[in-house]
Amino acid sequence: MKRNAKTIIAGMIALAISHTAMADDIKVAVVGAMSGPIAQWGDMEFNGARQAIKDINAKGGIKGDKLVGVEYDDACDPKQAVAVANKIVNDGIKYVIGHLCSSSTQPASDIYEDEGILMISPGATNPELTQRGYQYIMRTAGLDSSQGPTAAKYILETVKPSASPSFTTNNSMAKGWHVRCRTG
C-alpha cells in the first residue's frame, strides 16, 4: 500500500511537471506599419493587438498557454512585407495578425499560405485577397467593392451634395474605393 501511494504521488508529480513543461508560450506575429506614411494606423493596430493579448492572457490564455506578441514593421511596403513574412517563417511563428495594407498583405499572404501559417488581416480591403481560395488567409475588414458603394450611397442620400469632388492617393485601397464610389 505504501509503495502504491508513492507510485501514485510520483505519477502525479510527473504529470504536474510534464504539464508545466508542456505549457508553452504561443507566439503571435503582429505586423503593420510602425514607419512610413500610415504609421498612425499601425499604432492603432499594434495597440489593439497588445490589449487583446493582455485580455486573453488575463483570462488564462489559450488552454493555459500564454500569448506573446512579436511585432514586425512592414511600413505597408510590399517588398518589406515579403522580407517580414520570411522572417516570421524563419522565427517559427504560426499565427499572424496583419498585414494592414492590401498592397503588403497580398505578397505576404502567398508565403503564409505556402507555409500553413494562419493570417488574419485587420485592414486589407482588396477583394482579391480572399478570392484566391486560400485556407489560412482571413480578414476582418470589409471589401473595397462594398465600402465604396456604401459610402457613395450615404453621401448621395444623407449629405446630398450639389457637387461631388473626388480625391485619391496612389495606392490599391484608395484606387479601389475611388472606382467603386464613382461606379457604385
The Cα–Cα gap between 42 and 59 comes to: 26
The mean per-residue pLDDT over the stretch 140-159 comes to 85
The larger pLDDT score, comparing residue 12 to residue 121, is at 121
The Cα–Cα gap between 57 and 45 comes to: 18
Same domain, 130 and 153: no
- Nearest of 169, 181, 177 to residue 76 by alpha carbon: 169
Looking at residue 180, its pLDDT comes to: 58
What is the DSSP secondary-structure string of 1-32?
-HHHHHHHHHHHHHHHHHHHHH---EEEEEEE
Same domain, 172 and 116: no
The larger pLDDT score, comparing residue 43 to residue 160, is at 43
Same domain, 70 and 54: yes
CATH number of the CATH domain containing 113: 3.40.50.2300
Residue 8 lies in a domain: no
Domain with 176, as residue range(s), is 145-183
The Cα–Cα gap between 125 and 143 comes to: 5
Same domain, 103 and 162: no
Same domain, 78 and 131: yes
Handedness of CA 176, 170, 172, 71 (dihedral sign): negative
Report the domain count for the chain: 2
Residue 3 has pLDDT above 70, yes or no: no
Q: How confident is the model at residue 133 (pLDDT cuts 50, 70, 90)?
A: very high
- Nearest of 72, 65, 67, 61 to residue 29 by alpha carbon: 72
Residue 2 lies in a domain: no
C-beta separation of 33 from 39 below 8 A = yes
Looking at residue 176, its pLDDT comes to: 65
User: Model-level pTM?
Assistant: 0.74
Summary mean pLDDT of the chain: 85
Residue 6 lies in a domain: no
Looking at residue 166, its pLDDT comes to: 66
The larger pLDDT score, comparing residue 13 to residue 104, is at 104
Per-residue pLDDT tens over the stretch 107-127:
999 999 999 999 999 999 998
Residue 90 has pLDDT above 90, yes or no: yes
